[in-house]
Amino acid sequence: FTRPLVRQRKPNPTLLPGPTTGRLRILFIGDSLISGVGCHAWDQGGPVMPRRTAETIAAKLGANGCDVEWRSLSEVGCTIERLRSELIPRIRDEVQHNEKFDAVVVVCGVVDFMKGWWCGGSRHWSDFFPMLQDVVKDIGHVAKDGGVIFFPEVPFAAAPAAQMRPLVDVYRMTTDKWEHQKRRISEIFSHVHTLPPMPSGGPTDWSTDNVHPSEAGYGRWGVHLAEHVVGILSHERALAECQERQAG
């Protein structure tokens, strides 16, 4: 786990207040995109995408005195199976010693796609849907059923390595089938949301391996995710407060 705490105090009275503890806790879990493979910015406080997402959320919630505390748990080359068997069980230790998470951001699917269709494996995009269901259930079990779960869609077909015509159109259609399974999951579980993919950007948004984002790309992706997360959390909290008023 990485364990930063982001503190911001900026006026923005239109956004939701933080939780009663005054701290919003977010967990980022997944593959190399969480780890930050492709850039060298760990000396600035951890992997870029989680850090930039948390910083942006903190800036937007700052008027309400809400700190954003985030954790990052990742493994390069992480498949859905490894996510379930190796990473998710480690959440239990975290929530046993701290407050439960308010939000969990899960980045997954690229390695499964690459080991399936891309590399000629037997895995099919239809296999992805029940796996995602199991991930949601596993997180709920170990994380005390707390928090909203977010599945960002990953724009793999936008990577320079995928820009080989005419295969780029096949990549785009195929990866969309995999990412569509995340959208299906959000239709089943009320506390699960799919986040739209980041716009592809330009050459400076990609690292020299032509697969992972660069530091600039991760940063832009973090801002993109934060804007959607804040909007959804605002709606979730407003809905909960409305239900509390009606119950009272």
- How far apart CA 31 and CA 154 sit, in angstroms, is 12
Q: For residue 234, is pLDDT > 70?
A: yes
Helix, strand, coil distribution of the chain in percent, nearest 5: 55, 15, 30
What's the pLDDT band for 4 if we cut at 50, 70, 90?
Answer: very low
What one-letter code names the amino acid at 65? G
Q: What is the pLDDT of residues 85-116, one digit of tens each?
A: 989 988 887 777 766 788 999 999 888 887 76
DSSP code, position 54: H
Closest CA to 129 of 81, 179, 197: 179
- How far apart CA 190 and CA 185 sit, in angstroms, is 9
Q: What is the pLDDT of residues 118-154, one digit of tens each?
A: 555 666 778 889 999 999 999 988 876 668 999 999 8
DSSP code, position 87: I
Closest CA to 6 of 43, 60, 42: 60
Q: For residue 3, is pLDDT > 60?
A: no
More confident residue, 23 or 204: 204
Average pLDDT over residues 9-19: 31
More confident residue, 74 or 4: 74
Q: For residue 177, is pLDDT > 80?
A: yes
Find which of 70-74, 105-109, 234-238 is predicted with most confidence, using mean pLDDT: 105-109
- How far apart CA 248 and CA 242 sit, in angstroms, is 10
∠ CA 55-56-60, rounded to 5°: 115
pLDDT number for residue 117: 62
pLDDT number for residue 25: 86
Closest CA to 39 of 162, 225, 197, 219: 219
Strand runs (DSSP E) across 97-210, as ranges?
A: 103-107, 148-152, 192-195
Beta bridge partners of 150: 105, 193
Average pLDDT over residues 209-233: 89
Strand runs (DSSP E) across 93-207, as ranges?
A: 103-107, 148-152, 192-195
Q: For residue 156, is pLDDT > 80?
A: no
Q: For residue 224, is pLDDT > 80?
A: yes
User: Mean pLDDT lowest for which of 11-20, 213-222, 236-245?
Assistant: 11-20
Q: For residue 10, is pLDDT > 60?
A: no
Average model confidence (pLDDT) across the chain: 78
